Chain A
Amino acid sequence: SYVLTQPPSVSVAPGQTARITCGGNNIGTKSVHWYQQRPGQAPVVVVYDDSDRPSGIPERFSGSNSGNAATLTISRVEAGDEADYYCQLWDSNTDQGVFGGGTKLTVL
């Protein structure tokens, strides 16, 4: 099955830029979605189809996808961005949804 690899944790100071990667074989050929999950809450889509942003999500959240890695970039990080972030895609080769293992973003 298709595997998505994320770093377990990323730390960043307020106001700086956080980058969370999601590695997968030729992931650049697939559409990647990103979710933010705060403790005790359901996940929320922050980026979909690699780089699109749902209404209501700040422009500080952006995404890119190329080669073997997709990246979620959070600019001007705020304390409220501290959460777990998951990448996810649909693998059409095996007809299944796949989540990455998740990355805990800590705002120092």
Chain B
Amino acid sequence: HLLLQESGPGLVKPSETLTLTCTVSGDSVKSSSHYWAWIRQPPGKGLEWIGSVFYTGSPYYNPSLKSRVTISIDPSKNQFSLKLTSVAAGDTSVYFCARQASRITMIVAAPFQYWGQGALVTVSS
């Protein structure tokens, strides 16, 4: 049974770096069949894809966030993480980690099949 759990500070000051970790149980982040992703949702608003990472290969990032985002995998802890630098009030959101479904081709295009419960991060001084 696959579980994803986000963890990290719920409050970050403007201009600082937001760091979140997604702990995976029931699967390995070294899987050759899945991408792992971060998605966010500002309060009362829609979903925004942040980026997707594969155990081997370069991650894909949302161009609007690319200069500030790093997503990485830590196989020793079976986790993947999100770093977002120079945050501002507009980065206040619920942040979800997710595992994309497996498929044979274009696996990065697979739907977000499993989701964490989400973590609210507020940017405020």
Q: With a CB–CB cut-off of 8 A, which chain A residues contact B37?
A: 97
Residues in B93-125 with C-beta less than 8 Å from chain A: 96, 101, 106, 108-113, 115-118
Residues in B47-70 with C-beta less than 8 Å from chain A: 47-49, 52, 60-64
Q: Which residue of A lies closest to B101 (CB)?
A: A48
For the complex formed, measure the closest distance between the CB of A63 and the CB atoms of chain B, giving whole angstroms: 12
B90, CB-defined interface residue at 8 Å = no
Q: With a CB–CB cut-off of 8 A, which chain B residues contact A99?
A: 39, 46-49
Set A1, A31, A45, A94: member contacting B109, Cβ < 8 A: A31
> Once the chains bind, are B106 and A98 in contact (CB under 8 Å)?
no
> Once the chains bind, are B46 and A96 in contact (CB under 8 Å)?
no
Categorize the interface residue count of chain A.
20 to 34
State the CA gap A94–B46 with chains docked (Å): 21
Categorize the interface residue count of chain B.
20 to 34
> Once the chains bind, are B47 and A33 in contact (CB under 8 Å)?
no
Q: Which residue of A lies closest to B60 (CB)?
A: A95
> Once the chains bind, are A97 and B118 in contact (CB under 8 Å)?
no
Set A33, A94, A96, A102: member contacting B111, Cβ < 8 A: A33
Q: With a 10 A CB-CB cut-off, give which of A42, A44, A101 has the most chain B CB atoms.
A: A42
Q: Which residues of A contact B (CB under 8 A)?
A: 1, 31, 33, 35, 37, 42-45, 48-49, 54, 86, 88-90, 92, 94-102
Q: Which residues of B contact A (CB under 8 A)?
A: 37, 39, 46-49, 52, 60-64, 96, 101, 106, 108-113, 115-118
**5 extra interchain contacts, Cβ-Cβ under 8 A, other than A99-B46, A102-B47?**
A35-B112, A45-B112, A94-B63, A97-B62, A98-B49
